[in-house]
Structure 1
Amino acid sequence: MKKIHNKPNLIEYRKKLRRRSTAAESTLWKTIKNKQIENLKFCRQHSIGNYIADFYCPEIRLIIELDGASHDNYLSEEKDIIRDRTLEEY
């Protein structure tokens, strides 16, 4: 079976994204880390395929994406739709 979670080639980029969290990501992380919600474990900047989800809960296969101002244009909107469809297929 092909590995789709946390691909080794994305490790450094995932670390960079964690260091540069947005204010919204930092605020949400404070609420969901350490199994504070329904005892569910969430991961930050978790890669699935070639995409990196802001937050992922493997137990219930939930992805949380916080799309800020960088997603407020036509091209980003199209890419987000493709990302969402691909992640739903996984």
Structure 2
Amino acid sequence: MMIERAEDRLPPLPIGERVAGAKRRSGEGAAPTDPTKRKIGATERARKLRSDETEADYRLWGELRGRHLNGYKFVRQVPLGPFIADFVCREKGLVVELDGSQHADSPTDPARTAWLNSHGYSVLRFWNHEVLAERRAVLDTILACLDGKISIPSPDLRFAPATLSPLGRGGEPR
């Protein structure tokens, strides 16, 4: 009898994507051996995203940086496995994503959220226009998630709690 591990249920990476440090097998474009590793070029792409930020990213980052939000430390444009998360509070395992119109009915967002959830991250999503028009409400919602006042998933995946405890991300909370 074979026991299924959580790693066995991870969605595959897009075809042709490689993971940093993955050795090539016999064929060109072979699948990566560890889907939790960063994709090649992820750090450079994250740096580019930081320099080419949207207005909503800029406004929210101004509120989150330097522990301005009740002392919680956030980082931005962070490679997590095969993805780059907009904002991450490692201490609480919360990923905050800002979505533009390209995310409307995106087929990849649910798989991305599922991957992050299975690796110990709760995901909270906002539309760019919400950050620009209702920033105080957005910050209050982020604080409610950080303080554990919101823990039930929303039906439209605007909030999806982690399916693995923060300690399950590799021992100590980061």
Q: Which has the larger radius of gyration?
A: 2
Alpha-carbon separation, structure 2, partners of 1:8 and 1:82 = 17
Q: Which runs of 4+ in 1 moved over 4 A?
A: none
**Cα distance in structure 1, aligned partners of 2:45 and 2:57:** 16
Percent identity for Structure 1 against Structure 2: 33
Structure 2 equivalent of residue 37 of structure 1: 69
Q: Which amino acid aligns with 1:30?
A: G
Aligned to 1:46: 78
TM-score, structure 1 length as denominator? Answer: 0.85
* 1:33-57 deviation digits (Å, cap 9, x = unpaired): 0000121110010111110000000
> Separation in 2 of the partners of 1:37 and 1:53?
18
Picking from 89, 100, 110, the partner of 1:81 is 110
Q: Deviations over 1:30-85 (max 9, x none)?
A: 0000000121110010111110000000000000000111212x4xx110011001
CA distance in structure 2 between the partners assigned to 1:80 and 1:23 by the alignment:
21
Matched length:
84
More contact order relative to length (CA 8 Å, sep ≥ 6)? 1
Alignment gaps of 5+ in structure 2 = 1-33, 120-174
Task: Please report the TM-score for the alignment, with normalisation by the length of structure 2.
Answer: 0.45
Contact 2:39-2:81 at 8 Å conserved across structures: no
Q: Structure 1 unaligned runs (5+)? A: none
Structure with more helix by fraction = 1
